[in-house]
Structure 1
Amino acid sequence: MLNHSASPATPRRWFNPLLWALVLIGLNMRPLLTSVGPLLPTLRQATGLSFGGAALLTTLPVLMMGLMALAGGAINRMFSERTSVVLSLLAIGLGAAWRELAPGSAQLMLSAALGGLGIGVIQAVMPGIIKHHFLKRMALVAGLWSAALMGGGGLGAAITPWLMSAGHGWHSALAWWAAPALVALIAWWPVSLGLTRLAPSGASAGPSLLFSRRAWLLGAYFGLINGGYTSLIAWLPPYYMQLGWQPQASGTLLALMTFGQVIGALLLPAVARAQDRRPLLWLALMLQLIGFIGLIYLPQTLPWLWVLIAGLGLGGAFPLCLVLALDHLPHPAAAGRLVAFMQGIGFLLAGVTPYLSGLLRDYSGGFTLDWQIHALLVVVLIAITGRFHPRSYRQAFRE
């Protein structure tokens, strides 16, 4: 049996095979979403999709993430964490490869749903794995996992237009993202052989979440934060293409935003020494607000700065939300259930956001109105953050 519970703080522990297998898996969590935006004009011309229809290519995977997170307890009872990740990586790889074989609009939707299913299962089981095997450095490893997740999104945005310009068709450029899923599967297979299985998430694994106001609040909080992310990855490249930018340049801008997310995901959890997560969450939200204000009022003036600042805030907020939920309950299985519930509600909410943004684009003829709504929602999130004092954790789940 492998023992991965020791702290990865020393240089030797940073070479933990499980840790880097998780990084490879994380790199596969976002290219399915971010690879579409830079190719959107070509894709819409080839398939006849409206802006609202094209948004479904981002919406469907995120909705599947939410549904799979809510089904995490049932999945955990049926499969071990190892098997769940293996099947999920296969689903992600097949979803990407499907885009080469059947590039029609209906087939694109199905490929997005299949890939989203795999992403959703992995995101449901991963927080419990992190808390169980890296308890002493939970925030740091959650940040590394999130950084890999964001970094994969940046690679999807930057490399996909390059693949298309190198002579591949748009559907072949999208299908190339099956390869990293295969690499992650090869890495995961040997290091996961001896992993200790977590206790199945049954009724005894913690408090009831369905009627918990704190669980629903965490879900809404997580969803509104990720709604800004899903809207940006879907519509930031089209926004700048509407302003006259070329697809590859707009994809580079999205990749730069993702670079900011990687830095934020690594930096903010790394300095999270206090149990009170609110100061860093407030900082992350203020960075998001500055980024949205820049995109609204000065989109052509230092655009790289606005997307980088927004990325820092979005990247830092994601792992801090995971750690915030994990902090509420001491038992890894129970905490994993809470994070899965939070992600389920959150991703269902975030999944609808790009579609609504596409409808707003069809209605208003631009994206400014959407950015204004997101800026207002960030202000709401800043107010909600005040409720997450550490003293409230035990009161929230007193049962």
Structure 2
Amino acid sequence: MSDDLLPTLDRPDASSTSARRPGAPQPAPTGPGTTAQAPGTAQPAWLGPVLVVGIVLAALNLRPAITSLGALFEEVRTGLGMSGTVAGLITSVPALCFAVFGITAPRLSRRFGPAVVVCAGMAAVSAGLLIRPFTSNAAGFLAASALTLAGIALTNVLLPVIVKRWFPGRVGTMTGLYSMALAAGTSLAAAATVPLTDALGGSWRTGLLIWAGLALAAVLPWLPLARRTRRQARAEARAAGSAAAGPGTDAGPRVVRSRTAWALACYFGLQATGAYVTMGWLPQIFRDAGVSAGTAGVLLAVTMVMGVPLAFVIPGVAGRLRNQGPVAVTLGLFGLAGYAGLHLAPAAGAWAWALLLGVSNCAFPLAITMIGLRAKSPAGVAKLSAFAQSTGYLISLPGPLVVGALYQHSGGWDLPLTLMAALMVPQIALGVLAGRDRTIEDECGMRD
């Protein structure tokens, strides 16, 4: 099924840039690249609100599987008898799965529709989180984790497509909403997993299992959405007199030919590198500077919590700009200041550096916003999202390992922090290139 056959809930008025109320019946889109709607396809009142709830719940579940494990990793390693090599493999699996499984999302979206694939992705997340606590060895734990991460990877790629398809006039606002939910889920799991585990008896298995409930809740709104959009697409395909998955339908641009796509992929990779290094090593940087372990953990939480409000604000601001380069520059300068501060006075200005890096890490919602803006059609967004995220996560894989190796080799943080500050320079330059007002369809010389 082509996602071009799915109806739009929110499209700007022809004479105004203001968006319509989500869920309200919309006129059929017209013009190149659109599909005539079948008779009787007016949208029910429940569709818009349920879609918003589904997006928020899906986003809430994109990181707890990772950060909850991080909070209990030592207990999991001991309980399953993991070797250091296997433990290192597990820490690198998320980025690898995001790269490998994310690249399959556009093809699955074209065949089944994005709502169906997101529903299946949330089901995979739930299944993996339900199975993982009951595994008895590292291999089973790794397999269950991979199932969960595969579902996260598909949803990572397709949420920008969902936003582009149903809220084309509110890309920035809707991206901000789910980016904020993603940041909230990340912070919640990191902060609450250990206290909840202690309150529920102290078993790491229970501590990991509780997040399966949140994932199961995320499946529920996507069930009616998947069912309706699948049925809707079939009806519209019959009305148009063509098969829903006919050859050449919504083929989308060849993104590898686009300079903007490459700039966005590399920008995504460098910001992901900074985020993973921050999550993995920031507490150790503070502890080595004389900060207590408890305070170091709170400082990391401050860095992560900064993403909750800013993840909503930044996409909204970026979505109203024709060129997002200045936002990328601003975030990069915050990062440079944070790394410089950690280098010069890590303990004395610890709270300031944590805040600065928290702002800098909001390059993620900016990158997601630019993915939605740099393509004209949902099919283009699907391909660009898969390419940028998969390539970006591959780029980010060596970062935390290299930083750890430099730390061990040099015996301090001067060299690793110099590297991270140096990487901010190409990140800023790539953000400027990716933020230019152009689309991958135009660069590839292809139609919408």
- TM interval, short-chain normalised: 0.7 to 0.9
Range moving further from structure 2, 336-345 or 128-137:
336-345
Alignment of 1:88-103 (within 5 A): 88-102=121-135
2:204 match: 170
Q: 1:392 to 1:82 in 2, by over 3 A?
A: closer
Secondary structure of 2:256's match?
A: coil
Secondary structure of 2:72's match?
A: helix
Contact 1:262 1:312 in 2 (8 A): no
* CA displacement at 1:227 relative to structure 2: 1.2
Contact 1:161 1:247 in 2 (8 A): no
TM-score between the two structures when normalised by the length of structure 2: 0.78
Q: 1:244 to 1:36 in 2, by over 3 A?
A: farther
1:117 match: 150
Given the alignment of the two structures, is residue 36 of structure 1 paired with residue 63 of structure 2, yes or no?
A: no
Distance in 1 (alpha carbons) for counterparts of 2:292 and 2:340? 23
Alignment of 1:33-112 (within 5 A): 33-44=66-77, 47-50=81-84, 53-102=86-135, 104-112=137-145
Alignment of 1:301-316 (within 5 A): 301-315=348-362
Q: Deviations over 1:230-269 (max 9, x none)?
A: 2222333454456676766544433322211122211112
Secondary structure of 1:176's match?
A: helix
* CA displacement at 1:102 relative to structure 2: 2.0
Partner of residue 338 from structure 1, selected from 366, 384, 394: 384
1:236 match: 282
Q: 1:22 to 1:93 in 2, by over 3 A?
A: same
Given the alignment of the two structures, is residue 280 of structure 1 paired with residue 327 of structure 2, yes or no?
A: yes
Larger RCO, structure (CA 8 Å, separation 6 or more): 1
1:293 match: 340
Range moving further from structure 2, 368-377 or 21-30:
368-377
Q: Which amino acid aligns with 2:149?
A: G
Given the alignment of the two structures, is residue 265 of structure 1 paired with residue 311 of structure 2, yes or no?
A: yes
Distance in 2 (alpha carbons) for counterparts of 1:365 and 1:99? 36
Range moving further from structure 2, 168-177 or 194-203:
194-203
1:354 match: 400
Distance in 1 (alpha carbons) for counterparts of 2:392 and 2:248? 22
Q: 1:391 to 1:148 in 2, by over 3 A?
A: closer
Contact 1:260 1:312 in 2 (8 A): yes
Q: 1:345 to 1:379 in 2, by over 3 A?
A: same
* CA displacement at 1:365 relative to structure 2: 5.0
Q: 1:55 to 1:310 in 2, by over 3 A?
A: farther
* CA displacement at 1:49 relative to structure 2: 4.1
* CA displacement at 1:352 relative to structure 2: 3.8
Distance in 1 (alpha carbons) for counterparts of 2:191 and 2:312? 21
Distance in 1 (alpha carbons) for counterparts of 2:295 and 2:75? 15
Given the alignment of the two structures, is residue 190 of structure 1 paired with residue 224 of structure 2, yes or no?
A: yes
Contact 2:342 2:353 in 1 (8 A): yes
Q: Which amino acid aligns with 1:116?
A: L
Partner of residue 160 from structure 1, selected from 188, 193, 196: 193
Contact 1:259 1:308 in 2 (8 A): no
Distance in 2 (alpha carbons) for counterparts of 1:252 and 1:235? 14
Q: Deviations over 1:26-57 (max 9, x none)?
A: 0100112222333344445554543x754433
Q: 1:10 to 1:289 in 2, by over 3 A?
A: farther
Distance in 1 (alpha carbons) for counterparts of 2:376 and 2:105? 19
Contact 1:33 1:57 in 2 (8 A): no
Distance in 1 (alpha carbons) for counterparts of 2:263 and 2:149? 24
Range moving further from structure 2, 334-343 or 209-218:
209-218
* CA displacement at 1:351 relative to structure 2: 3.4
Given the alignment of the two structures, is residue 134 of structure 1 paired with residue 167 of structure 2, yes or no?
A: yes
Range moving further from structure 2, 263-272 or 249-258:
249-258
Secondary structure of 1:206's match?
A: coil
Secondary structure of 2:228's match?
A: coil
Relative to its length, the structure with more helix (as a share) is 1
Given the alignment of the two structures, is residue 381 of structure 1 paired with residue 381 of structure 2, yes or no?
A: no
Q: 1:319 to 1:188 in 2, by over 3 A?
A: same
2:53 match: 20
Q: 1:53 to 1:220 in 2, by over 3 A?
A: farther
Range moving further from structure 2, 138-147 or 385-394:
385-394
Paired residues, number? 397
Q: Deviations over 1:170-211 (max 9, x none)?
A: 343223221110111123323444336698796853321234
Distance in 2 (alpha carbons) for counterparts of 1:149 and 1:226? 14
CA RMSD of superposed structures (Å): 3.2
Larger Rg: 2
Q: Which amino acid aligns with 1:142?
A: T
Given the alignment of the two structures, is residue 4 of structure 1 paired with residue 9 of structure 2, yes or no?
A: yes
Contact 1:227 1:351 in 2 (8 A): yes
Distance in 2 (alpha carbons) for counterparts of 1:298 and 1:197? 59
* CA displacement at 1:5 relative to structure 2: 1.9
Q: Deviations over 1:114-171 (max 9, x none)?
A: 2211110111211111001011111111111111111111111101122333332234
Distance in 1 (alpha carbons) for counterparts of 2:233 and 2:419? 43
- Structure 1 portions without partners, runs of 5+: none
Contact 1:132 1:332 in 2 (8 A): yes
